[in-house]
Structure 1
Amino acid sequence: MTEFPHLSRRGFLTRTAAVGGALTVPGLLAACSKTDAGSAAAGLDKLKEQGYVRVAYANEAPYGYEENDQLKGEAPTLHREIFKALGVDELRPTFSEWDGLIPGLQAGKYDVISAGMAIIPERCEKALFSEPEFISPTALMVKQGNPKQLTDLASAKEAGAVIGVMSGAVEKSYATGAGISDGDIKTLQKPQDGADAVKGGRIDAFLLTGISLNWLAKNNSGLEVTDSFVPELDGVKQYSPGGAVFRQGSEELRDAFNRELKKITSDPTRYVQLIGEYGFGKDTIPPANLKTADLCRA
């Protein structure tokens, strides 16, 4: 797989055009407790006929989250635009804990995961990924002043730091790959849990994408985010590309989605107009030669 140059954190903080409106979902929380179960993979024709697509989100800002009965974030905004172009006007959301997203998809509780999920081989074995929607390097959230002077996972290992990661997320493999022992890795359920654990001194740093941590830092005083870095696994740089996720057997739907996605990622102005408000800029647009097929084989 082709390796790509390091992206600075500044690129992920671009704030330009406002997003083209959030999806209003009256009674969202009540609706999220119910799903239209069914194990058959939904095709595009079926979705167009019924007029909606069932999407799952993990309530992780800025990727996909609920606020004031609106589904917001990078993935729902981008996916709404794509499905409208495909003739499907409505996203019907379902909330899931992060580590329940793919099992819920496999069980037929929804048709697409709209959560900015990283594309990795283990997940490719269980579901179909779109082409990348964005790329994002990694960072550490630490207490203000960075008492242990952490800059990356190598420095965290050297300092004997206790690192927090989200349950089911790819960052645990980064920490393990850097030689940090299991006893120094703590699993948390939500991003805010990670921020709270750093504040409370239960962990020394919270490991997540720079996009997520900079968003989280807005609402958590006394914390700061390190400059982003690109972790490695077995000598291969990990850029954490994310995409939409479909049930196996949904190749036709995935391919139609990809065609519309390419129109957006090949147009930087449109890309930023759609999701710039959430911290995504021209530097988060995936390179044209970064392909899901390669990421799934890595």
Structure 2
Amino acid sequence: MSLSRRRLLSRAAVLGGLLTVSTPLVACSRTEVGTGAPAGEGDLLAKLRKQGHVRVGFAGEAPYGFQEDGRLAGEAPTLHREIFTALGIGELRPTLTEFGALIPGLLAGRFDVVSAGMAITPERCAKVLFSEPEFVSPTALMVREGNPKGLGDLRSCAAEKARVGVLTAAVEASYAKEAGVPDGSVVTLAKQQDGLDALLAGRIDAFALTGISLRWLARVNKGAAVRVLDPFVPVVGGVEQYSPGGAVFRPGAESLRDAFDAELAKITGDPARYVELIGKYGFTEREVPPRTLRTADLCAG
């Protein structure tokens, strides 16, 4: 699935606090420029170790990378700070930009790594290098407190004739259709908050999105009479839809990518450590990538 949910999440207006934005903001772009790597890219890891910092591109999206209480927070800053510190690179120097400008900015040399939970797709793999998956995004349902229809996944929604809310242009609409939910029972919503509001108002019986996003939505609406059910992995055409995301590097930066992957494997191979690092942002052991899920296979399509 080429659609990235990162395009559907709200973006922070300002990036600040303990990390300094060191590069001008990049204008939103729909065009991804050429893939030529800067000269000497193969020595990038050694260069970054020597200078002591890495320039990182973020999209300002909660819970992936955003401002909280005056500092940069979220899954990507936390996980990647841990990895780069282990590599001997002690400082992240972030650039805040629109999601659509991340790959062009990377290829133009404005930063060294994209850390935005970007979905790994064959189209993107043709332009850039991805790390191994740093998380997967199983789908979940948000329901009213008490789960009055006894729902568990999209197939149960079809069986119970439940009305299912999905975001405009999001992949959950296709997941619902594959599970047998009729078109007339799928309600399209503009943004995440609309889903929670429609649920509380009784206009829908369930709101389908990634478990990560739904848990964050419940957190920022503390006290709302809703419940996020256990995530599940939808199947479309016999293929499990994990929706994995990873860090992104320029072509030619294999040494840096490979070193990053080695440290990432130590974290994803230890679910307790993984949850300890980023659990407060809604990531659980269910978001730990399966060992069999490899970027090479995802890039091959």
> TM-score normalized by structure 1?
0.71
Larger Rg computed on CA atoms: 2
Q: Say if 2:24 is the partner of 1:34.
A: yes
Alignment-derived partner of residue 117 in structure 1: 118
Aligned counterpart for 1:161 among listed residues 156, 160, 163 = 163
Higher relative contact order (CA 8 A, sep 6+): 1
Cα 1:45–1:198 shift into 2, 3 Å: farther
Helix, strand or coil for the counterpart of 1:245?
strand
Helix, strand or coil for the counterpart of 2:220?
coil
Helix, strand or coil for the counterpart of 1:224?
strand
Where in structure 2 are the equivalents of 1:1-298 lying within 5 Å? 25-26=16-17, 31=21, 34-35=24-25, 40=37, 43-50=44-51, 51-61=53-63, 63-98=64-99, 101-102=102-103, 104-106=105-107, 108-146=109-147, 150-156=151-157, 159=161, 161-165=163-167, 170-171=171-172, 173-175=174-176, 177-178=178-179, 181=183, 184=186, 186=188, 188=190, 191-192=192-193, 194-196=195-197, 198-199=199-200, 205-220=206-221, 221-298=224-301
Q: 8 Å contact 2:165–2:195 — kept in the other structure?
A: no
Cα 1:52–1:105 shift into 2, 3 Å: closer
Output the CA distance in 1 between the equivalents of 2:273 and 2:217: 25
Alignment-derived partner of residue 30 in structure 2: none
Output the CA distance in 1 between the equivalents of 2:103 and 2:196: 25
Cα 1:269–1:172 shift into 2, 3 Å: same
RMSD value, Cα: 3.8
Using the TM superposition, name which of 69-78 and 96-105 deviates more: 96-105
> TM-score normalized by structure 2?
0.70
**Runs of 4+ deviating beyond 6 Å:** 36-39
Cα 1:122–1:185 shift into 2, 3 Å: farther
Q: Which runs of 5+ in 2 are unaligned?
A: 1-14, 28-32
Output the CA distance in 1 between the equivalents of 2:148 and 2:126: 40
Q: Could you tell me the percent identity over the aligned residues?
A: 56
Output the CA distance in 2 between the equivalents of 1:104 and 1:294: 26
Cα 1:31–1:90 shift into 2, 3 Å: same
Output the CA distance in 1 between the equivalents of 2:73 and 2:213: 14
Output the CA distance in 2 between the equivalents of 1:165 and 1:234: 22
